[in-house]
Each structure stands twice: as C-alpha cells, then as structure tokens.
Amino acid sequence: MHELSLAIDMVAQLEKALSDDDSAIEQIHLLVGVISGVEIDSFKFAFPAAAHGTRAKDAELVIEQVPMVVKCRACGRETRPGKPAAICGKCASIDVEIISGREFVVKSMEVS
Amino acid sequence: MCEECGCTPKDHHHDHEHDHEKTTRTVNLEQSVLERNDQFAQANRQWLKERNITALNMISSPGSGKTTLLEKTLDALRHEIACAVIAGDQQTDNDARRLAGKGAPVSQIETRDACHLDAQRVGHILAETATPQTKLLFIENVGNLVCPAAFDLGEDIKVALLSVTEGEDKPLKYPTLFSLAPVVVVTKIDLMPYLDWDIEACRDAILKIRPDAKIIEVSAKNGRGMDAWIGYLKQLAAED
C-alpha cells in the first residue's frame, strides 16, 4: 500500500502549487505507467484519505495509463512489447531502452 | 447546473444577478509524484559518491533470507572490506541486533505503518551509520516485493532476493522489482532436494523480465554459492 504515501505526497505537491486565491482543486490529471509499480485502483482508494481536509478533497482523478514503449538498440525501432518483459517487439533483442511506462506524473490540475 | 437556482443553461430563460460561469484555471505541473523522494535519493547518492561508498538496496519478500545472507556476508568480509548496514522493518530492532557485533555499524529504521523505506528516512540515518572507512552499504529494505521497488533510496544497485521456497514464477508475478534489479540472489538452495523447485524455470523467469540480470544462487546456511556472491561484492568495492 505505498499508494497511500504517494497520494499524501501528491496532495502536498499540489497544495504547494496553489495560490492563496484558489479555493479548490476540481480535477487532477495523472499519467501512470504500466511498469511504474503504482496500482491505479489502490491509488484511487487511498486518495480520499490523503486529500481529507485539504483543498483537493473533492477533486476528481483523471488517470491516463501509459504503455511501456522500448527503443531497440539493435534494430532501432520503437515498439510496445507485451507486458512485462522489456524486449524489442520486432526483433526480440534484449538491448533496449525503456522510453515510457515507468512514469507516475501529475500532468495538470484544474483549480477554482 | 446552477447551484443557486437549479437551472441549466438550456432552460436559461430568466435573468440572474449572479455569475453562472465558474472560473477554473489549469495548472500545468508535469511533476513526478515521486519527485520529493527522488530529490532526497539524489542527495543520498551524491553523499555516498563523495565518500566512495557503494550502496545496495536489498529487496525481497518477508522470510526470503535477507538477514541471514547479510549475517554471513558481514562475517565473510569482516577483515577485508568495511561494511555498514541500514535495516528496515515495520517494527523491532531484531535484525539490527542479529547483525551487530560483526565489525560493521548497523542502524535500524522502524517504518511503523509504512511498507517500504524512503529516501528521506535513509538520508537521516546515513551519516550516523557510515564511517570514513565504509566501502559497502547494505540497505535491507522492508520485506515486501511490491512497494520498495517504487522508491529510489539513492543506492547504486537494487538486489532482489528470491528463496527456493517461493514460486519459480515470482519474477513474472512481480515484474516491477525484477525489472529494476540487475542482480538476483536465489537463496536457500540447500532446501532444493526437498522441494519441487525448478532452477531452470526460475532462471528463465528472471531473464524474461530482465535479460541481463546476474543470477547468483546461494545457501547462506551451508555456504554453497557464497563465493560467487562475496566475489561479486569484492568486485563492486574495488570498482571505486
């Protein structure tokens, strides 16, 4: 359940980005990679407890899942391998760089 | 719907004195939620680098033999390489007590309700754990295959442990950790004769998730395979 500490950190981060005139956070846009280690359902479950008593308490979470994309150093292609192995989806080389899939990012928020 | 009179824009047939437009603004952040942890991790990494200390973040399920492996590791390296240990558990200092008296400074972090160590907690205790002689720092994470994988502590290497009493397919079930760990130590191999453990299936599972993983099979109890593990650690310490 590290999602709870992540939710607490996120709320603190968002509060910091608010100005004194902002009354509430309406919506939070998140990017969650499939290999980020963050379970989306657990995060959604933990969020209300983390947001309780803050200006994020009524915020809606809009979560976009990010697939794993690897760039192959052997054939140069970018592919989406099937979870969970990081291998080239074209030539099956193991010499790949993970381009995306690890992110856990707050993209933006709507505030009123 | 208008909160004051209940009308919707469609049946907007009467004049209002109040404003219907709720003004919202978008704040673009593009911030990693782990940013705060990552900043502390970076500070730890810098601190360790300045002192030529190589840090290993040891992660596994509870009961896979992290503490026993460390006990035997500290014994083996005692007169050769200065080690230090930070042990994390939800409660008790049992692990720190087991590892004490082996020539290496040992600190315990009790995480209480947290299921993982974070970089800030480790940072608080670094200076009091490592000595000017320390070459290798072992961070024994809380027994958990899931959560610790998400938190960079500032280590050089994540080491995953997998005991033969667990399933061979554990790397497939918990790919996040195994994809981040360049070294996997398969522990308790002395128990293999009593189990239907398929070492080849286990190696396949590890390599499927992390094709370049270094796999070291050990029994800390009878010493089999410990040479490979100790040899690897000596090589790490010599690299600085």
Q: What is the pLDDT of residue B21?
A: 60
Distance CA A44, CA A6 (A): 11
Residue B110 in this model has a pLDDT that exceeds 60: yes
Tokens 């308790």, residue located: B188
Residue B19's pLDDT is what? Answer: 55
- CA gap B164, B171 in Å, rounded: 13
Bridge partners, A79 (sequence order): A70
Q: What is the pLDDT of residue A77?
A: 94
* Residue B21 in contact with partner chain A when CB distance is under 8 A: no
Mutate to test the interface with B, among A9, A18, A40, A93 (most CBs of B within 10 A): A9
Task: Give mean pLDDT, residues B184-198.
Answer: 95
pLDDT at site B11: 47
Q: Is B127 on the interface with A (CB under 8 A)?
A: no
pLDDT band, residue B112 (cuts 50/70/90): confident
**Portion of chain B with pLDDT greater than 70, in percent:** 90
Q: Which of B26, B151, B210 sits opposite A110 (nearest CB)?
A: B26
pLDDT on residue B48: 97
Q: At what angle do helices B35-50 and B119-129 cross, to 10 degrees?
A: 20
Give Cβ neighbours of residue B31 (< 8 Å, ≥ 6 apart): A13, A105, A106
Model confidence at B5: pLDDT above 60: no
The C-alpha atoms of residue B153 and residue B149 are separated, in whole angstroms, by 10
CA dist B33 and A61 (Å) reads: 14
Q: What is the mean pLDDT of chain A?
A: 91
Closest-approach residue (CA) in chain A for B24:
A112
Determine whether the interchain pair B30/A5 forms a contact, defined as Cβ–Cβ distance below 8 Å. no
- β partners of residue A59: none
Helix (H) or strand (E) holding A96: strand A96-100
| B172, closest residue in chain A (CA to CA) | A84
Phi, psi of B173 (to 5 degrees): -80, -30
Q: Higher-confidence residue: A85 or B163?
A: B163
ipTM of model over 0.85:
no
Contacts of A2 in chain B (CB under 8 A): 114-116, 146-148, 150-151
pLDDT of the residue at B90: 86
| Pairwise CA distance, residues B94 & B100, whole Å | 10
Q: Which residue of A has its CA nearest to B114?
A: A2
Looking at residue B97, its amino acid is R
Query: Which of A23, A105, A110, A112 should be substituted to probe chain B, the one whose Cβ sees the most B Cβ atoms within 10 Å?
Result: A105
Chain A hits for B151, CB-CB cut-off 8 Å, are 2
B24 touches chain A (CB under 8 A): yes
Q: Nearest residue of A to residue B36 by CA position?
A: A9
Q: Average model confidence (pLDDT) for chain B?
A: 90
Query: Nearest-CA neighbor of A102 among B135, B9, B152, B67?
Result: B152
Q: pLDDT of B39-96, one tens digit each?
A: 999 999 999 999 999 999 999 999 999 999 999 999 999 999 999 999 998 888 888 8
B2 pLDDT tier (thresholds 50, 70, 90): very low
Read off φ and ψ for residue B40, nearest 5 degrees.
Answer: -65, -40
Among A105, A110, A111, beta carbon nearest to B33: A105
- Nearest in space to B110 (alpha carbons), one of A11, B124, B36, B35: B124
How distant, in Å, are the alpha carbons of A4, A55, B76 from that of A9? Answer: 9, 14, 41
Closest CA to A40 of A13, A6, A63, A70: A63
- Which residue in chain B has the smallest CA separation from A14? B29
Mean pLDDT of all residues in A58-83: 92
